[in-house]
Structure 1
Amino acid sequence: MTKYILLLIGIISSTLLNAQEADNNLQGYFMTQSKESLYPYFAFDGNGKVDIAGYGKGDYFVKNDSVVVFPDKDIFIFKISKNRLAGTSTWVKNTKWDLKKDSIAENNRKDDAWAKKNAQLLYEYYRKTRAKSNDLEKLFDENAMLNYTKTIDDLCTKGLAKACMEKFGLMVMNDIGGMNAVLTNKTQKPKQNSEIIKLGQKIIKLGEIEGHTVLGSYYYSLGDKTKATKEWQTATEKGSTKAGLVQFEAEMNDAAK
């Protein structure tokens, strides 16, 4: 059970950019000719979500000539010029992706004001939590963790789904004994927390399909496999690749018992 709690936490666990407001209207299919890259393509939907080479979808924003992408872990930073993305950060550095103008790339932008607000909140998240530090530093620095917690709580209140996902993970972690319990493998069995469930439902209402994934994992950690399966299947039906993998691993875990 602890394994799935940690998985849940994991799912939800550079240069400062100025002048132009952040946006997420970049849309199109960018492909690399490099045979060595782990990421042959990035497909931006014009609404803040990017398909990362079929591995899953991440969030992104564009500010000035920089494109910042948030996969599950780490962060990808690109410079964009003349329909070309040039990687500048770890995992994408020294590789270029070119826009394929004849490709069919989904454009999901429906509410321009909402999309811009989300991009600006994501930029604020980046500036306050990622630009000058990393996740490991937060785990072992009490003040940094306190500031981080306040930041994501504020951004979640403002409506940033990514911040709510991370808040969800922190709430689950606190319920099982906190970071020290996780690091020492002395986690407590979780008890149903209505506030965590409400937060999961809020994430879903904000349009984040992985809200179903993390809520399903939470139900699984409580022993409610019926609700867990329902949430995972809903996420999969909405396009999540992550939910199917989580469900498959849960089923393998059950079969091994």
Structure 2
Amino acid sequence: MIELNGKTALVTGANRGIGKAFVEALLAAGAAKVYAAARKPETLEALVEAHDGRVVPVTLDITDREQVAAAADRLTDLDLLINNAGIAHFEGLLAPRNPDAARAEMETNYFGLLNMVQAFAPVLGANGGGAIVNLASIVSHVSFPALGSYSASKAAAHSLTQGIRGELKAQGTHVLGVYPGPVDTDMGAAVEMEKTPPAVVAKAVLDALEAGEEDVYPDPTAQHLHRSLMEDAKAVERETSAMLPAA
């Protein structure tokens, strides 16, 4: 069981979408303080002003290792790290319109995530262990060719999550992997599927964290695909492989 009441958390990508929903859900769960991180601190002003000093803005680009290390040196009271920041370019793997898309997605969704866990794991360990939440995706488990490079970056994030779970067990840090389907955010606007509100995803994730779970599929689409993958992974792969990039 993971207790959220009275704890201090850091949420990356906190200025909108799921990140903003995480901040609000943490406060509702009794968190004493939430560090809300974003590359542009001005995008956090309304969130900070709405919560009477319990939300502290942090300027943070997770792809900048020096900036991440400096943040870890400052935020020494951390109990919970929520790695939410991510990008998606909605490109296929072959002949992408943006040839730099795959590299940019990997830099944020994998290497940025690695930067964060390397820098903040010692902080959590010094504070008794705490927890790390990594926002991966249902496409971590099966690639959608319409967003093939994003799928690959999230598969890497899933593997990283499994790896750090083993490495951090000895210091008592709990690691939760999150595998949502389409969510009703700016990033999800291009996805023509039923979408789940960010607040529903955030609540499901925090419930799973408090229950001590290691993996959570926080919406109906993710839950359906996860069950289908358990039953016949190749059938799901054949189905998703028909979702091709735009010509």
TM-score category (smaller protein): 0.3 to 0.5
TM-score normalised by length of structure 2? 0.32
**Larger-gyration structure (1/2):** 1
Which structure has more relative contact order (CA 8 Å, sep 6+)? It is 2
